[in-house]
Amino acid sequence: MIQEFSKIKALRKRGSLHAPSVQIMRGTIKYYLLGAIVLSLGILGYFVINRWEASRTFVTSIFKTETVVQPSPSPEPLPSLSFPTEIGPKWVGSTGKSPGGRCIPAEIRGESLSQSSFNSDSWTKVMNHFHAGKNVLLTWLEANRKKYSPRTYEVMKERVSVLKIQRPPIVEDPDLSWRGIGVFALDSKKGEMIRIGSGFLVLAEEDSKRSKFELTRLIAQVWAPCELQRLGVTENVWLSLLQCLKMNEEQICAEGSFSEAGWAVSTLLATVLSPPGCRMPILEKEELGSCLRQIGGKS
């Protein structure tokens, strides 16, 4: 375009610039000028849109070029939600997306540590499911508080109330970055918390029932037999349930058996309180119906 201006200037000096030539050159200049304006507007729009999207996205990788978002040191606030005080077997889901209504593993591949990111809307859904899981467990505990000593009740209530959830990616559990699951973790500095992989955010978006179930099951791990024992609770809260499940009392907290007993208790609790929308394999045995009623009966 600058060259076109130079040509016009030179022609004017020589007196050889005619009207048709001026029209052609002016048209050429307008063409280039219009293109430059459109290109500039496109670039400006691109940066505006990306800046807006960036403001809604939290990048939590450990790499220097990105921001580390630490878990809150204070307990997550519980929303004021109401649930029935009577929770029975009717809450148990019997249908789902899986063939025959049977629950299948819900693990959605996530992103690597360097790529993990999420927007505020996705995280809000996870937090809503997390709070819902806390609420149904605390509601169940309140409905059954007469079954437990005052100290046991207070310990169980406190452990659920103060439990935190950590945003992905997780430095302490880097493999979670590739997985869509969550884990219950004991951190020597931060205490008990739930850690989830970036793929779990996809699960929360696509299947809210399963997401609530999985988070409720993880939260209920604070009530696992060995966890309560670690906290100094002498009352054997789940003795009757574990006997119903045919688990040897002496082996419940033996080496290598922690996850089995804790997982069984938390799975039954979550199945009754936050139905996954499909049938859990653990419930396919007819004799487990009486075990389930121990959780779903009136206080």
Domain coordinates in residue numbering, the chain: 2-55, 73-296
Q: What is the pTM of this model?
A: 0.66
Separation of alpha carbons 12 and 3, rounded Å: 14
Instruction: Work out the end-to-end distance of the chain between its first and last CA atoms, rounded to an integer number of angstroms.
Output: 85
Per-residue pLDDT of the chain (299 residues; tens, 9 = 90+): 555 556 555 555 555 545 555 555 556 666 667 777 777 777 776 665 555 444 433 333 333 333 344 444 454 554 444 444 343 333 333 334 444 478 877 777 666 555 555 667 888 899 999 999 999 999 999 999 999 999 999 999 999 999 999 877 666 666 776 677 888 887 767 678 898 888 888 888 888 999 999 999 999 999 998 889 888 998 989 988 888 888 776 666 765 545 678 888 899 999 999 998 888 877 777 667 778 888 874 33
Separation of alpha carbons 236 and 243, rounded Å: 12
Separation of alpha carbons 17 and 9, rounded Å: 9
Separation of alpha carbons 172 and 188, rounded Å: 12
Separation of alpha carbons 148 and 151, rounded Å: 8
Contact 138, 161 (CB under 8 A): yes
The alpha helices in 15-66, defined as continuous H runs, are 19-55
Q: What are phi and psi of 236, to 5 degrees?
A: -85, 85
